[in-house]
Amino acid sequence: MTNKNDNSSSDIKKMSTLLLSGATMLADSCPDCNVPLFKKGDNIFCPKCGRKAVYVRSDEEIKQIEYTHSFSETKETIQDIITGKLNFLAQKLAASEDLEEIKIVAQIMDLLLELTVKISSVK
């Protein structure tokens, strides 16, 4: 118990020494020790285990956010296109007296409606 307390107070000492030496404390923490990572110059490291940190994970997170963001825009674009086509098909359906054409138009409308449901369920 006392040992653990000693350890964490020496961690704090190490961290404050680092801060005084011009290192910056980062929002991310070491996956092993759970203490905040420090950055000094180009080096990002854990003050406790001394391991250099490599920022692979956060890069992936950024890409993930960008991907989600651009996909939600794509989703909106697709929905707009489908809505436009459905309007066009509805007019065609209203104007048509050809049973074969009505059948085809109805089938396409059905497909497009299915597509809108599928797209809106994609997260």
Chain residues that interact with Zn ion, rule: CB under 5 A = 30, 32-33, 46, 48-49
Comparison of 52 and 123: residue with beta carbon closer to Zn ion:
52
Closest approach, Cβ 63 to Zn ion, in A, equals 25
CA distance 119 to 107: 18
CA distance 118 to 111: 10
Comparison of 18 and 112: residue with beta carbon closer to Zn ion:
18
Q: Phi/psi class of residue 43: alpha, beta or left (left: φ > 0; alpha: ψ in -120 to 50)?
A: beta
Closest approach, Cβ 64 to Zn ion, in A, equals 24
Closest approach, Cβ 17 to Zn ion, in A, equals 16
The strands making up 36-40's β-sheet, listed across from edge to edge, are 24-29, 36-40, 43-45
Comparison of 32 and 110: residue with beta carbon closer to Zn ion:
32
